Amino acid sequence: MKLYCLSGHPTLPCNVLKFKSTTIMLDCGLDMTSTLNFLPLPLVQSARLSNLPGWSLKDGNVFLDKELKECSGHVFVDSVPEFCLPETELIDLSTVDVILISNYHCMMALPYITEHTGFTGTVYATEPTVQIGRLLMEELVNFIERVPKAQSASLWKNKDIQRLLPSPLKDAVEVSTWRRCYTMQEVNSALSKIQLVGYSQKIELFGAVQVTPLSSGYALGSSNWIIQSHYEKVSYVSGSSLLTTHPQPMDQAALKNSDVLVLTGLTQIPTANPDGMVGEFFSNLALTVRNGGNVLVPCYPSGVIYDLLECLYQYIDSAGLSSLPFYFISPVANSSLEFSQIFAEWLCHNKQTKVYLPEPPFPHAELIQTNKLKHYPSIHGDFSNDFRQPCVVFTGHPSLRFGDVVHFMELWGKSSLNTVIFTEPDFSYLEALAPYQPLAMKCIYCPIDTRLNFIQVSKLLKEVQPLHVVCPEQYTQPPPAQPHRMDLMIDCQPPPMSYRRAEVLTLPFKRRYEKIEIMPELADSLVPVEMKPGISLATVSAVLHTKDNKHVLQPLPRPAQPTGGKKRKRVSDDVPDCKGPKPLLSGCIPVEQFVQTLEKHGFSDIKVEDTAKGHIVLLQEAETLIQIEEDSTHIICDNDETLRVRLRDLVLKFLQKF
C-alpha cells in the first residue's frame, strides 16, 4: 500500500492511495498562495498600481521591468495570477481510478486533473460540496476573466533569473508548473465527472474496496472517507470540526479501528480560538463603525460567512448597529445565500428542525428580508446606487489579488477610520496587504478556523485508536514561529508518519487475508471433522473463480460424460486433473504406545532416543530409524519397501485422516 503525496500544503491536500489494485486520489486542493506574488487585478483602473516603478536587477539590467514591479520594498509579478498545481510527474494521473473529495475547498484543482492528465475515472463528492465548489470556481474564473490582462510574464520564471530575484519570489517552488486559471468550460467538464454521494453511503470500487463518506462537521457537505476491504481499513480525515457551527456534526465513531488514518486539514491557526476570534471580529467591527469608519471583510462566498452573518444577526441590535448596512458582494452571492438554505439534510440538528417549522435554517434570510443585508454580483450596477457609508462589506477574494475587494482596498485604504478584518486563515494577511502599502486603514487579523486543533486531535486519536497515523510533516513539529509550543503538534503512539510534497510513502501494513466465498452446493458437500473443541476442518476441492476482485469457490465441474468416445474433446472441456485429494493427517504419535505396537507386530530390540525435536525409534535388527518430530515423521530404511509400508501403516494408525 502506497501513498503518493502530490501537495505539500497541509490544508489543501492532494494524495494518491494505491490500495488493493485501486488507485484513489484523496482530494485535489489548489494552492493559491502563489497568487500573493502577483500584483492585484483592479476592477477600476488604478493609477497607483499602474504607476508602480519597474524592478531592475542590481547590475542595472532592466529587461525585467516590464514583468516585475516594486511596491514599498516588495517585488510583484505584473501578470495574470497563477496557481501552484499538485505534482503531476510523481505518478501517471491517467491511472487514477477515482477521486474522493472531502470538501469544497479541497477540489479547486479538479479541472487541472480531470481535463489535462488523461484522467478517465469517476469523482465522488456530496451534493453541497459540488454545488458550493462550483460557486467557488465560478467566482474565481469570473474574478480573473473580467479583468483581462494583455501581458503575461514568464521571463522571471527562468531558473537562472529567479535565483537573482528578492524573496519571496526567489524561494517560490516549482514556478515552472504554475498555471493560469482554468475556464468555465473546463470547470463544467470537470464537474460533469462527479458522481454525487450521501453520508454513510457505501460505494464499491471494482469489488476490491468500499469507500464511504462520513460527515466531518467542517462545512456544508464536508466529508471524511473510509476506504476499506474485508480485512483492512484506511480512514482519510480532512478538514473536520468538532465545534457546533452550521454543518452536521462530525461522525467520529465510524473512524474507529483503522489500520491507517491519514490526517490532513487541521486548523491553520492552532493558537486562535474561533469563539475568541468571533468576539474580536465584532468588537473591532463595532468600534470602527461607531467611529464612522467602514469595515471590509475579505472572504470566500461560502463557509464561515454563514456563521458570521448569524452572529451579526444576534449581535447588531444589541450593539446598536441596526441601521448599519451590510453588503455581500460576489458574482455568486445570491446563489450561495440561497443554496445554504436548501441543503437542510446536511445541516446541524438545530437548523434541520427549523426547516420543519417551516423557517429558513439560516437567519441571513431575515437580514435580507429586512434590508439589513444586501447582496450584489459586483460593485457595478445596483450597488453603486445603494451604497452608503459607514458600512460593512463582505467580498472576495481573501488573497486581495482579484475580485471586488481590490477596489475597496484602493478606496478605503487611505483613511485610518476604516478597518479591514481578515477572517480567512488561508493567506498571510501581511503578504496579502503588501501591494497596498503604505496603508492608513486599520488591519485586524481575526482568523476563524473551525477545523480541529491539536488538543481535539489528540482526544480524537485516543478515541478512534488507529494503528498508524500519517500526516503532513508540518504537524509533526511545533510551528516555526513558536518552536517551544510542543503542544502544537500531533502527539501519538506510535509517532505519526509524515509526508511532504512529492514523496511516496509505503504504508506500514501488509495485507494478509482475502475473503473467499464458497458456493452453497459446495459448502453442502463439506464434512468437517472436529479436531479439537470448536475447531473443525474439512478439505475442499474446488475451482477458484475470480472476477471483479471477488473470489468464489465453485464445485468442480462434473467429469465429462463419455459420450460415445468418438467425439473429439475440446480443449475448453479440459478439466484440471483432479484425482481425489490425498487425505490429510493430523494428531500426534504417543511414543510408548507406538513402541508397544511395534513389539506386538514382532519388532524387537527397539530403542528410543529423545532428541531436541522429538524422538527417534531405532529398530536395531532391521537397521531402520523412525524419526518422530512435532510436524513430521520419517521412516528411514534401506531399500526395504515392504518394511517401510508396514511401518508406515503402523504409524498411520495413530493419526486421524480427513
Partner 1 sequence: MHVPGETPAQAPHARAHPGPGLPVARSAGVCTVAECSRADSGLTSQPGQRRAGPVCTRGCPRTYPQPRLAYPHPRSPGLAMDPECSQLLPALCAALADPRQPVADDTCLEKLLDWFKTVTEAGSSLLLLEGSPCLVELLCQVPRAPGLSPGVLAFSLRLAGLLAAQEDCFQYLQQGQLLPGLFGEAGPLGGAAWTAPTVRSGWIQGLRAMAQHPSALRFLDDFGALDTVFSLQGDSSLFVASAAGQLLAHVLALCMGGPAGAQPGLQARDWPACAQRIVGHIEEALCSAAAPRVTQALHVLSTTFGRCHGPWGQVLWERLSPPVARLLEKDPVLAAHALVDLLLSVARSPALSSDSGLWETLAQTLGHLSPTQAGPLALGVLKLQDCPQALRTQAFDVLLQPLACVLKAAAEAPGPPGLPAAPAEDSAVVDVLLSSRSACVGLLCQTLAHLELLLPTPQRPSPWPQAALLGAAVTVLQFCRGSAVPASGVGSRLCVTLAGCVRVQRAALDFLGALSQDTGPRELLPRVFAVLLDYLASPDSSPTVLRKAFQATLRWLLSSPQPPGSCDLDPHTQRFLGELLPVLQKRLCSPCWEVRDSGLEFLAQVTRSWAGQAGFRDALLASEVPELAEQLLQDPESYVRASAVTAVGLLSGRGLHAARGSPERPGGPQSLLLDLLHVLSTDSEGFPRRAAMQVFTEWLRDGHAEVAADPERFVARVLQAASQDLDWEVRAQGLELARVFLAQMLGQPGPDCPYAVAPPAAPAPGRLAQALRALCRVRLFEFAFRALFDCDRAVAQKSCDLLLFLRDRAAPCDGPQGMGGGPDAASAEATLQRWRAGEQGQPLGPLEPEAAVAVLRALDLEGLRGALAESSDHVERSPQSLLQDMLATVGVLGDHEADCY
> What crossing angle do the helices spanning 304-315 and 274-290 adopt, rounded to 10°?
60
Cis peptide before 128 (omega within 30 of 0): no
* Nearest distance from C-beta of residue 480 to partner 1, angstroms: 15
The angle formed by the CA atoms of residues 48, 50 and 54, to the nearest 5 degrees, is 105
CB 322 → partner 1: shortest distance, Å? Answer: 11
Q: Which is nearer to partner 1, 486 or 645 (CB)?
A: 486
What is the residue type of 304? V
Closest distance to partner 1 from the beta carbon of 371 (Å): 19
Residue 319 vs 655, nearer CB to partner 1:
319
End-to-end Cα spacing for the chain: 38
DSSP state letter for 655? S
Q: Least distance in Å: CB of 319 to partner 1? A: 7
At residue 371, the 3 state secondary structure works out as: coil
- Judged by beta carbon, residue 50 or residue 283, the one nearer partner 1 is 283
Nearer to partner 1, 58 or 484 (CB): 484
Q: How far is the CB of 499 from partner 1 (least distance, A)?
A: 25
Residue 246 C-alpha cell reads as: 452550521
Comparing C-alpha atoms, which of 405, 421, 412 is closest to residue 441? 412
| Smallest separation, CB 509 to partner 1 (Å) | 30
Q: What span, in angstroms and rounded, lies between the C-alpha atoms of 65 and 515?
A: 66
Q: Are strands 326-329 and 606-610 parallel, antiparallel or unpaired?
A: unpaired
Q: How far is CA 504 from the centre of its chain?
A: 15
Tell the smallest beta-carbon distance from residue 490 to partner 1 (Å).
13
Between 66 and 485, name the residue whose CB sits nearer to partner 1: 485
Please report how close the Cβ of residue 425 comes to partner 1 at its closest, in angstroms: 14
Burial class (CB in 10 A: 0-12, 13-18, 19+), 356: exposed
Instruction: Please calculate the CA angle 135-240-313 and round it to the nearest 5 degrees.
Output: 60
Phi and psi torsions of 206, nearest 5°? 55, 25
| Least distance in angstroms from the C-beta of 60 to partner 1 | 45
Distance of closest approach, residue 269 Cβ to partner 1, in angstroms: 11
Residues facing 123 on adjacent strands:
99, 194
Nearer to partner 1, 457 or 619 (CB): 457
Task: Indicate the residue type of 234.
Answer: V
Min CB(268)–partner 1 separation in Å: 16
Find out whether 184 and 176 touch, Cβ atoms under 8 Å. no
Q: Residue 323 or 639: which CB sits closer to partner 1?
A: 323
- In our burial notation (b when 16+ CB lie closer than 10 A, e otherwise), range 142-160 reads bbbeebeeeeebeebbeee
Q: Which is nearer to partner 1, 268 or 624 (CB)?
A: 268
Closest CA to 282 of 328, 244, 314, 246: 314
Contact between 617 and 598 (Cβ < 8 Å): yes
Q: Which is nearer to partner 1, 285 or 434 (CB)?
A: 285
Radius of gyration over every alpha carbon of the chain, rounded to an integer in angstroms:
35
d(CA 438, CA 474): 33
Cell digits of residue 23: 488507485
Q: How far is the CB of 475 from partner 1 (least distance, A)?
A: 15
Task: Give yes or no for a contact between 424 and 305, defined as CB atoms under 8 angstroms apart.
Answer: no
Q: Using CB under 8 A as the criterion, which residues of the chain lie in contact with partner 1 when the complex forms? A: 271-273, 276-280, 282-287, 290-292, 311, 315, 317-320, 446, 482, 484-487
Q: How far is the CB of 446 from partner 1 (least distance, A)?
A: 7
State how far the alpha carbon of 325 is from the alpha carbons of 360, 366, 388, in Å: 21, 14, 8
Give the nearest distance from C-beta 484 to partner 1 in angstroms: 5
Which of 317, 640 has the CB closer to partner 1?
317
Which CB, 320 or 583, lies closer to partner 1?
320
The nearer residue to partner 1, 279 or 555, going by C-beta atoms, is: 279
Full DSSP string of 257-276: T-SEEEEE---S-TT--HHH
Amino acid at 538: A
Is 105:12 a contact under the CB 8 Å cutoff? Answer: yes
Residue closer to partner 1 (CB basis): 287 or 553: 287
Helix axes 127-145, 184-191, angle to 10 degrees: 170
Dist. CA 340–CA 360, nearest whole Å: 9
Phi-psi region of 193 (alpha: psi -120 to 50; beta: other; left: phi over 0): alpha
User: For partner 1, which is the closer residue by CB, 169 or 272?
Assistant: 272
Smallest separation (angstroms) from partner 1 to the CB of 383? 25
Beta strands in 166-309 (DSSP E): 194-197, 203-205, 209-215, 223-228, 233-238, 260-264, 295-298
Which residue, 282 or 436, has its beta carbon nearer to partner 1? 282
Cell numbers that stand for 192 in this block:
460533469
